[in-house]
Chain A
Amino acid sequence: MAALLLDPLAAIGRATLGACRVAGDAALFALEGLSHVLRPPFHLRLFWRAFIEIAWFSLPVVALTAIFTGMVLALQSFTGFARFNAQSAIASVVVISLTRELGPVLAALMVAGRIGASFAAEIGTMRVTDQIDALTTLSTNPMKYLVAPRLLAAIIALPLLVLVADVLGVMGGWLIGTLKLGFVSDAYLKSTFDYLQAQDVISGLVKAAAFGFVIALMGTWCGYRSKGGAQGVGGATTSAVVASSILILALDYILTEIFFAQ
């Protein structure tokens, strides 16, 4: 009888301890990675390569996502707001939704799928083929060589991507607004910028930097800790995308509370 009660408690305890161990390991990994971002020597070539991979090669997917999101947002808002004769608010709703929430979150989720998986697969393969051990024997700190440039590149690249996403998203809304919904172009744009505040854009960019850090951290950490050959690398890739996606959404709520809670 006692075992019947204690076994589930023991299982919960084990799971809790396991979760704490994983969270602690990720936190220490993040701290060590960030410390290498700040300490020389700096691997500028690797930073630049990671930056191009994140910023330039993610641009098409982020741009398409932003344009279609802006278009859908304008269309949905129009059909909804028409019930209250509030169609004139559509431009403001589109721009504020995009800059505060949808731009950073959707761009980050797209980049998490592309870059988080890529980092985890590349570093995971290096782990299971002894390339990370080889780095150590070649007098190179793997954290400084593999992790720090990716962290820095993602922190800088994501806000730039989100800035582009904001512009393209607004453009998508403007296209639908003027071509389909019958808005006058100048009036739509005036309405867009009249209610937009600097805080809306800045909060989105700060969120983007935080999301970039999370994506690079989860990608590199899951790859770095992978083991067990191809299956392990596959698992690390999946974990990196799932973990970064969940953390992006959770972090989005926390940052929104910080920026906008009254």
Chain B
Amino acid sequence: MTEAMAAPGQAQAIAAATPKIRVRGLCKAFGPKQVLDGVDLEVARGHSLVILGGSGSGKSVTIKCILGLIQPDAGSIEIDGQDVLKMKRHDREAMADRIGMLFQNGALFDSLPVWENVCFKLLAQKRLSRATARDKAAEVLAQVGLAASVGDLWPAELSGGMQKRVALARAIAAQPDIIFFDEPTTGLDPIMGAVIDGLIVDCVKRLGATAISITHDMASARRIGDSAAMIHKGRIVWTGEARGLGHSGNAMVDQFANGRREGPIQMELRR
């Protein structure tokens, strides 16, 4: 039975049962290098999934494929049961309006002050005038623990931790129902890392959003994830609860979680 044909109650139940994000058999190669080799993932509505994996394992490419920044070679990506790869451009853009993204290095626009960065999407879609956008920016900055006066600064004037907070504010300003976090704590000291994780958890809960994060940081993964998936050589090799990362029973996850040199994951060294 399709969602359209079902009664309102049934439609709600179907929507609740449908994973918010479902990835099936995702493949992507760059030249001879097969980066994704059949990635399968599911994230339930309102859940937070953390993807773990070594450098070059395909974490970022997976997220970029879901975001539409990279076109995969094969596979399907469903959001709310709709295959985004088969969508028309207009529908895909509408879908992208519901997604927020925190980039690894913040990716704040150098040429714009902080308040314009935060409200960029709202201004671009003309959902706010420039006058009201300043107030909105102050409100969102307060949600990530920054004073309204920060809005008048330029990204280059901010510390690394403040840039991450501003980038988080930008990601949540349009109240997306899906948020991606690309290594949110990389380059931060442990205390600031914990602060950013706390803000991420708060923001995701407040918005009721579905989140996918990629990280190398095990402490961060446990803090922000409901569930976790391990990717290795372009394939998901383990999924489970984020809390159980320390005793997963999977040799690869154990090696990664404990940072051991010996184990099934061998670093590829070029000579």
Contacts and interface: CB of A to CB of B under 8 A. Distances in A.
Interface of A: 122, 125-126, 129-131, 133-134, 136-140
Interface in B81-119: 93, 96-97, 99-101, 103-105, 107-111
Nearest to A43: B124
Contact of A136 (B69, B105, B109, B110): B69
B67 interface: yes
Interface string B168-186: 0010000000000000000
Contact of A130 (B68, B103, B120): B103
29 contacts: A122-B111, A125-B110, A129-B107, A130-B103, A130-B105, A130-B107, A131-B108, A131-B109, A131-B110, A133-B64, A133-B67, A133-B107, A134-B101, A134-B103, A134-B107, A134-B109, A136-B69, A137-B69, A137-B96, A137-B99, A137-B101, A138-B120, A138-B121, A138-B124, A138-B170, A139-B121, A139-B124, A139-B125, A140-B121
Which of B101, B103, B124 has most chain A Cβ within 10 Å? B124
A131 B69 CA distance: 12
Given A136-B67, A137-B69, A139-B93, 6 more contacts: A130-B105, A131-B108, A133-B67, A137-B67, A138-B170, A140-B121
A131 B101 CA distance: 12
**Chain A interface SS verdict (over half):** helix
Given A130-B104, A131-B109, A133-B107, A140 B124 contact: yes
Contact of B97 (A122, A125, A134, A139): A139
Contacts, number: 46
Contact of B105 (A129, A137, A140): A129
B133 to A, nearest CB: 13
B105 A139 contact: no
A133 B103 contact: yes
A129 to B, nearest CB: 6
Interface in B54-72: 64, 67-69
Contacts of A136: 67-69, 96
Nearest to B125: A139
